[in-house]
Amino acid sequence: MNKIKVEQLNFYYGSKPALQDISLEIADRQITALIGPSGCGKSTFLRCLNRMNDTIPNTRVDGRIWLDRRDIYAPGTDVTNLRVRVGMVFQRPNPFPQSVFDNVVFGRRVLGWGKNRSDLLATVEACLRRVALWDEVKDNLYQDALRLSLGQQQRLCIARTIAVQPEVILMDEPCSALDPIATLEIEDLMRVLKESYCIVIVTHNMQQAARVSQRTGFFWLGRLVEFDHTEAIFTHPHEKLTEDYITGRAG
């Protein structure tokens, strides 16, 4: 079943087009990877999915993005609620300068869901277990989150994201700042989380896209060149430009 449907999406920085005529459907409870060279529009597209680009001055979007058959750019859309439903994990881990506990429950408190401490503690434990971090921090939940390793920080940020019960998780190069061991831990985590969430990941690492995703989209100069099952993209692409990029002859 598809969770997100994008129809003829165009995005502009001023008068400059950054995305042109993007149409695709993103399945629920799968990992969709977006690949392509730097500056090709992958991250811009990702931020369109929860309207984070709204905060950038002098930008414009047209086209439609449907989340469960509702256009997220329709007038009157509750953008705060949208960003609860469609969470974001960034390129570099960005825990707040607070305790591990306070990081996980931050969003719930902002939303007014954090009045009962026993409920918050149960949420913290559940979310940290989901990201395989509980056993590493359970004896020191009130330590400064910035003291964790980068890999632990990124898993904490994912725990903070899922604590507000999103339906979609966007990941913008979530492993680019991590060492190989931490990268594999995040990839293992993504495989677990896809059983419950729609996940869209931007990555420059084509091997990572091949390892974790079920569908892959190849972007080039603001256009979606090809979108297909990941195995097909990497073994039998339909477009010559896709094949050239995958084999290193372009990009």
In sequence order, what DSSP letters do the residues of 153-193 get, joined into one string?
Answer: HHHHHHHHHHTT--SEEEEESTTTTS-HHHHHHHHHHHHHH
CA-CA distance, 2 to 45, in Å (whole number)?
17
pLDDT tens for 50-59 read 999 999 999 9
- Whether the pLDDT of residue 251 is over 70: the answer is no
Q: Quick check: 40 and 88 in contact, CB under 8 A?
A: no
Domain ranges of the chain: 2-94+167-246
**Model pLDDT, residue 1:** 86
Strand pairing partners for 4?
Answer: 26, 67
pLDDT in tens, 98-148: 999 999 999 999 998 877 888 999 999 999 999 999 999 999 999 999 999
Q: Is the pLDDT of residue 187 over 90?
A: yes
Q: Does domain 2-94+167-246 have CATH number 3.40.50.300?
A: yes
Task: Provide the CB-side half-sphere exposure for 233 (13 A, CA).
Answer: 27
pLDDT digits (tens, 9 = 90+) for 12-45: 999 999 999 999 999 999 999 999 999 999 999 9
The pTM of the full predicted model, rounded to 2 decimals, is 0.95
Which of 146, 161, 148 lies closest to 97, judged by CA?
146
Average per-residue pLDDT for the chain: 96
